[in-house]
Amino acid sequence: MNIEIKKSVKPIEYTKAIKYLENRVVEVNNNKSKELIWFLEHPSVYTAGSSYNKSEILDSSINLIKTKRGGKITWHGPGQLVCYFVLNLNNRKRDIRKFISIIENSIIKTLKEYDIESQSDRENIGIWVKSNNNIKKIAAIGIRIKRWIAYHGFSINIDNDLNNYNKIIPCGIKDKEVTNLRSIKNQNYNNLSDKILNNLINNLKI
């Protein structure tokens, strides 16, 4: 598989990252660039997907960036791993549901390697874990398809400040909370991106 792998050490501004992705989509569509998988972290930012509602903003002082991805409002920032991609579904099955399942299964398998059980939810997209007898969100997924090229990506909460979610209704889901890996199990997550990359690449081959 001819995919460029990027791992940014320094935080990348959200708008710069999205502009890079959108340019890459054009280049991949024109066969001028490789596909891309990119791991990074953002400075603190709130973003709104194409189906968000203003009522999901609980603190009007937040700086909200509207984006073309699917989904509603979420937060990105320190302590959260973001995985962006530009992947050409013309070279695979043109099946969006299958593609989302590949992402979900890659995250679920990776968390299992850390002895953390998680699951997907057809009604509420993302990955969920059981914590103190409550189902909580551990990973968010938001993608866009343009000419059968999938881009944007997913994020996994590692040790981020969960208070940031109190200013919004995360992903428009009122009755479920958000958590992070450190709250579930206090262990070393330094190799998380490597494990996700390995599982994602393997699942893309299926």
**pLDDT value of position 191:** 96
- Condensed to tens digits (0 to 9), the pLDDT of residues 104-158 reads 999 999 999 999 999 999 888 899 998 878 999 999 999 999 999 999 999 999 9
Could you tell me if 45 and 73 are in contact, meaning their C-beta atoms sit under 8 angstroms apart? no
Query: Helical H runs in the chain?
Result: 14-29, 96-112, 181-184, 192-204
CA-CA distance, 105 to 103, in Å (whole number)?
Answer: 6
Question: How far out from the chain centre does Cα 178 lie?
Answer: 14
Structural domains of the chain, with CATH: 3-204 (3.30.930.10)
- Condensed to tens digits (0 to 9), the pLDDT of residues 59-81 reads 999 989 998 887 889 999 999 99
* Cβ neighbours of 92 (radius 10 Å): 16
Selected catalytic residue, list 12, 171, 192, 204: 171
Closest CA to 168 of 30, 42, 58: 58
- Condensed to tens digits (0 to 9), the pLDDT of residues 176-188 reads 899 999 999 999 9
Q: What is the pTM of this model?
A: 0.94
**pLDDT value of position 133:** 83
171 is catalytic: yes
- Map tokens 């320094």 to a residue: 10
Report, in angstroms and rounded to the nearest whole number, the Rg of the chain calculated over CA atoms.
16
CA-CA distance, 116 to 158, in Å (whole number)?
Answer: 13
